[in-house]
Chains A and B, each alone.
Chain A
Amino acid sequence: MAGRIWKFLASVRLTIYLLFGVALNLGVGALYLKFYPQVFRPLNKMAFGEWFSAYSSSHSWWLFTLLLLLLLLGINTGACTFERIVELWGKRKEYSRRRFFLYLTPSLVHLFFLVALAGHALSLFAVHHKEFPFRQGDKLDLPSLTIAIKKLQPEFWEHPLIVHPLRQCTVAMDIQAADSIVSKEIRFLHPFWFQGWSFHLDANPKAKPIQYILLVKKDPGTRWILLGGVGLSLLMLWYFVEIRKNKKE
């Protein structure tokens, strides 16, 4: 019985059904997000638990089916990968080192996919997100930090066609922690990290005057998402190039 369950969980057929199912579910979700942004956009600013108690409604069914399908996909991928690695490991002496690595690569790609998937789960359930609209001279209070905005220096494009010409902005700030004051500078696309928090500059260039916002995040999943994604993409790229070369040979 256990063997049959394992065989079912590790089957490629199940992978295919699950991937098509997730794709369809994501498509439905995209439509819900398009038509009910007020229900789902807050997920970008809070953890799933918080969102669930504040916004969940009958429109949220697709989110639960998506989580279930992704959980099954994670289990299926793990089982499939484990089975393949065990099989390959037994035959490792039959291949050259390079060929063995080539055959192992799809399994590594799947492992990186699992890393990225786990990162998404962590992000969804354990993210801390805070937003602080600010002006020069403001003091922003975080649980264990106080941020004083010292200088705000925007740069603009000078072109008549650009209606919202904000180009860049440099914000200098002093961060007061328990026992020290640290000076930091932040710009668009140039975040900084401090005591486990990441700080990002955001703005609403359409507002008059322009509204600057400090995004402060603690997201334990980010590094896993990025690591998984980079590993998966690079290995896949290498694998298909190698396979193509081998075919030619």
Chain B
Amino acid sequence: MAAVVTRIREQPTRLRRLLWLLLYTLLAIFLMLLLPQMGSAGGPRYIAGVNYFDAGTKGTPLTWAQGSISYYTDQGDLSPLLVHAAADLFVADAFSDWTSIPAAAVATTLAGQLGEDVNGTNVIANGNGTFTMPSDILPTAVNKPVAIVYDSDGAVTSALLGSGAGNTLYCFTNSVFGGADSLSTNARLYALVIVNGNCAQTSSQLPDLKYRMVRTFGRVLGLDWSQVNLNVITRNPVPTAADYAGFTIMHATDSISCVPISICYTNPDQPKMDDRASLSRLYPVTLQNQSNFPGKQLSKTQFVFIARCTSWMQMASRHNPCRASTSWLAGSILRLVWPRGRMRQRLFLDSCFADMPEIR
């Protein structure tokens, strides 16, 4: 008699568990469908389409082949403060903010110099409506895939953007500009970056210059703008410390009151969680390429999406967030995403604690 009573009492509990399981699974599926639509995180700047591109690349991001980028710098100085060698170090430092991301298989190399000091005398009008620039800063110069021009007096900036654009007054928008200029049928081919020397005249200008250079290099590497934590700018809702901490360097625009940039953000030139995750997705470290990138960690980019779901799950679980995310709920999602994903599922379970700090 007692056993019968127990069974009757257990049945509603089991039923309730099943209903909760069903509810959470449906909610997870709903979020999986909804979150990509929101498109708030960073991502690739260019994705191969149907025309022009190789058939096999359709829908895939266009990145630098093998994640290896050789860049060439101007023969001249950037400014009296950053003469040629110092400017090269400055550029390398800015690139390293991206290349040091442990789970991104991307590396940059200063491969040499451009063939000239690019300045106002060799960026010239032809008189017939066309104009000429040195051949190694044109999109056709794929043997020098990334060209960095040190525009010491702002003349090149003014020539390309308009008369007066190179003045110090316009450093907020015109200190570093450019980006990918040419795409092949399956990868990036060429990028041009112009650095305005008028924005490197004093040491107080350098933090802002570096911030803008890192952002431009993010574009060169293939990242698009991100919309994560835009409430930092809109103030709606009022941003928390966590919102600031996660505010991407690849946000589209800054408030004009952010001069110098440090008054608005701490460590402004450092890629944040979403920036790092975005680059890792573009250039994943795999078993195949890991040997080319010594010290890099295998990417678990596939976990980033799940990790975002997990964040929600962690909020839902008061007691043991990892258990909540790695038990039946995570299993259900993983089985939906990867029907044969047992190995990945295990990696994900293992990485639940290990990866979250890295991603953050």
Q: Tell whether A pairs with B.
A: no
> Which residues from chain B sit less than 8 Å from chain A, CB to CB?
none
> Which residues from chain A sit less than 8 Å from chain B, CB to CB?
none
